[in-house]
A and B are shown apart, each in its own frame.
Chain A
Amino acid sequence: MSTKPAATILPQATSERTTMQQHERDWRKSSARILLYVILLIGGLAMIFPFIWMVISSLKHAKDVYDLSLIPQNPTLENYRTVFARTQFLRWFGNSLLIAGITTASVAFFDSLAGYTLAKFRFPGQQVIFIMILSTLMVPTEMLVIPWYLMSINLHWSNNYWGIMFPGVMSAFGVFLMRQFFDSVPNELLDAARIDGVSEFGLFWRIALPLVKPALAALCIFTFLGNWNAFLWPLIVTRTAEMRTLPVGIAFFSSEAGSAYELIMTAAALATIPVLIVFAIFQRQIIKGITLTGIK
């Protein structure tokens, strides 16, 4: 009986006023929302404008590049042909792919193995080893490039793939990250598998590693991006044009191209677009990975 008293008791006029207020509040709220969408869209377009401008400039003839029109008058792929002809672009791209690929595989394997061992074994010297690895995180690479350079000259590593790669084949950050994630793998699971006769390496490879896949994926993405974009060390250690990585090659080509911005933008576009495509495919994993490693 007393289920809906309010509605029946309220006089008609008041009820109308409340709906009007409600409407007004809704309208104000939704217009604020639209405004937010618009502002963030403008900001977002400003964020990607440099890339749009890069692609537009790369499609213009040399004589048109300074006219700054948003739509190229006679769009051309001539610049792309020129960049491929004048540089060893494909070689640089391949170098970067090879170096980033191998270092990523190596970091993924060795950092997981070391992280697993530090998390799941108890042995003399464990703390010392862990602190030793962790302490290397405090040393900036800039301090190490001179010793690395002297080392690679002495060992004849300079200007070859191993010379570019060796500083990055393992990472202390990765060991630390993987150790934290292996910590949460239950010991009971490993003990049960051990009783079933799984070897110690099998416990790591077949039982524990599949359980920390998200962290491993994040580590791989970070390592790959870091090595793909690395500049200082490859700049120091490479001497000949065919050994350059993509960023080093682009930097040399661009500084030699003077004010031929249509060519510089073409090279930048060639370096950027493949990464953007890969990112568009793995967007969700990459963002999740960054969140995971940033918060842990």
Chain B
Amino acid sequence: MRLSFEQRRWIWAYTFLALPLLFFLIIRIAPTLYAFNVSLHDWDPLALERPFVGAKNFQRIWTDKVFWQALKNTWLYVFATVPLSLVLSLALAMGLQRLTRFVGLYRLLYFVPYITSLVAVSWVWRWLYASNGVFNELLRNIGLGPQKFLLSPDQALLSIVAMTIWQGLGFQIIIFLAGLEGIPEIYYEAAKLDGASEWQRFRHITLPLLNPTIVFLTIVGVISSLQVFTQIRNMSSQGQGGPLNSTISLVLYVYRLAFDSLPSKMGYASAITVILFAMILVITIIQLKVLTRRYEY
């Protein structure tokens, strides 16, 4: 049988895609479906039986105070991190854009935290926050009393948020700088000729033209904040989301249930990951709706 040129090309395409397809089917898609399956069982990997329990794990969520605490913390985390870091990074990017000398060096300073290991910097900040650490020494020097930071149920979450904002600024600044450089200088020149003030130029040129960048960074920020785990595991007392569960996030709770408790509650933990998946799905759909919209000015 003679294959046409087109058919031979099909065979090449399927050959090239064979391994990637296998990977996405076995390592991504099947486990996704399996997670739903696990969430419908009482699942302890050490037990002999894993009885099917239907929606019991999902019903249990309603009365589980720790779950609601983790959900509340996770969203607190999102709302404390995302808006503030966007404002800060936009302001810094606009400042950095005006520099004409030492440009690379200045950008480097702001960018360094982003590329370093989150585990390592979590411990560095733990040291800064220590009761006899640098931050308390500074507070003492300006006449304020020492704070408990990570040891206080009221301050621990915000202390971790501060570290997270610091760590992520560099990424957002770089993206904002790219966005700012994409705005044609001529718009500003024209506005200046029309007598627009600096604020007006920012409000009516910079901000609207940066809209896609802001949407992008908001979505990326919200999704990654919803998945917060590493810094809480490394900064909270015993890595359990304390004190008094004041810093526990959804993912940390999932980790504790599935991998850090005996007997392991993998079924219930999977049910919580399904909730997390649903939240991220909704945000992704919003993102697709907003980002595919055409921007007109």
Residues of the A chain whose Cβ atoms lie less than 8 Å from the Cβ of B16: 113-114, 116-117, 121, 201, 204
Q: How large is the interface on B (under 10, 10 to 19, 20 to 34, 35 or more residues)?
A: 35 or more
- Assess whether A133 is in contact with B175, with CB atoms less than 8 Å apart: no
Q: In the bound complex, what is the Cα–Cα distance between A124 and B17 (angstroms)?
A: 13
Residue from the set B16, B34, B119 with the largest chain A CB neighbour count within 10 Å: B119
Residues of the A chain whose Cβ atoms lie less than 8 Å from the Cβ of B28: 136, 139, 144, 172
Residues of the B chain whose Cβ atoms lie less than 8 Å from the Cβ of A246: 117
Q: With A44-B110, A143-B274, A146-B258 in contact, do A110 and B20 touch (Cβ < 8 Å)?
A: yes
- Assess whether B120 is in contact with A110, with CB atoms less than 8 Å apart: no
Q: In the bound complex, what is the Cα–Cα distance between A283 and B170 (angstroms)?
A: 13
Residues of the B chain whose Cβ atoms lie less than 8 Å from the Cβ of A50: 113, 121, 124-125, 128, 166
CB contact list, A243-279 vs B, under 8 A: 246-248, 250-251, 254-255, 259, 261, 264-265, 267-268, 271-272, 275-276, 279
CB distance from A60 to the nearest CB of B (A): 12
- Is B13 an interface position by the 8 A CB rule? yes
- Assess whether B112 is in contact with A129, with CB atoms less than 8 Å apart: no
CB contact list, B202-238 vs A, under 8 A: 213, 216, 223, 226-227, 229-230, 233-234, 238
- Assess whether A247 is in contact with B120, with CB atoms less than 8 Å apart: yes
- Assess whether B13 is in contact with A268, with CB atoms less than 8 Å apart: no
- Is B21 an interface position by the 8 A CB rule? yes
From A129, A276, A287, give the contact of B116 (CB < 8 A): A276
- Assess whether A268 is in contact with B123, with CB atoms less than 8 Å apart: yes
- Is B149 an interface position by the 8 A CB rule? no
- Assess whether A136 is in contact with B32, with CB atoms less than 8 Å apart: yes
- Is B1 an interface position by the 8 A CB rule? no
- Is B83 an interface position by the 8 A CB rule? no
Residue of B nearest to A229 (CB): B117
- Assess whether B227 is in contact with A140, with CB atoms less than 8 Å apart: yes
CB distance from B14 to the nearest CB of A (A): 7
Chain B, residues 87-101, CB within 8 Å of chain A (1/0): the string is 000001001101100
- Assess whether A275 is in contact with B110, with CB atoms less than 8 Å apart: no
- Assess whether A123 is in contact with B31, with CB atoms less than 8 Å apart: no
- Assess whether B178 is in contact with A53, with CB atoms less than 8 Å apart: no
Which of A19-27, A82-90, A288-296 is near enough to bind chain B?
A: A288-296
- Is B104 an interface position by the 8 A CB rule? yes
Residue of B nearest to A50 (CB): B124
CB contact list, A45-75 vs B, under 8 A: 45, 47-48, 50-51, 53-54, 57, 66, 68
- Is B27 an interface position by the 8 A CB rule? yes
Residues of the A chain whose Cβ atoms lie less than 8 Å from the Cβ of B79: none
Q: In the bound complex, what is the Cα–Cα distance between A39 and B38 (angstroms)?
A: 53
- Is B61 an interface position by the 8 A CB rule? no
Q: In the bound complex, what is the Cα–Cα distance between A132 and B30 (angstroms)?
A: 12
Residues of the A chain whose Cβ atoms lie less than 8 Å from the Cβ of B117: 228-229, 246-247, 250, 271-272, 275
- Assess whether A279 is in contact with B106, with CB atoms less than 8 Å apart: no
Q: In the bound complex, what is the Cα–Cα distance between A138 and B282 (angstroms)?
A: 10
Query: B-contacting residues of A (Cβ < 8 Å)?
Result: 33, 36-37, 39-41, 43-45, 47-48, 50-51, 53-54, 57, 66, 68, 110-111, 113-114, 116-118, 121-124, 126, 129, 132-133, 136-151, 153, 166-167, 169-170, 172, 175, 200-201, 204, 225, 228-229, 231-232, 235-236, 246-248, 250-251, 254-255, 259, 261, 264-265, 267-268, 271-272, 275-276, 279-280, 283-284, 286-287, 290-291, 294-295
Query: A-contacting residues of B (Cβ < 8 Å)?
Result: 9-10, 12-14, 16-17, 19-21, 23-24, 27-32, 34-35, 38, 45, 92, 95-96, 98-99, 102, 104, 106-113, 115-121, 123-128, 130, 132-134, 137, 166, 169-171, 174-175, 177-179, 182, 213, 216, 223, 226-227, 229-230, 233-234, 238-239, 250-251, 254-255, 258-259, 266, 269-270, 273-274, 276-277, 280-281, 284
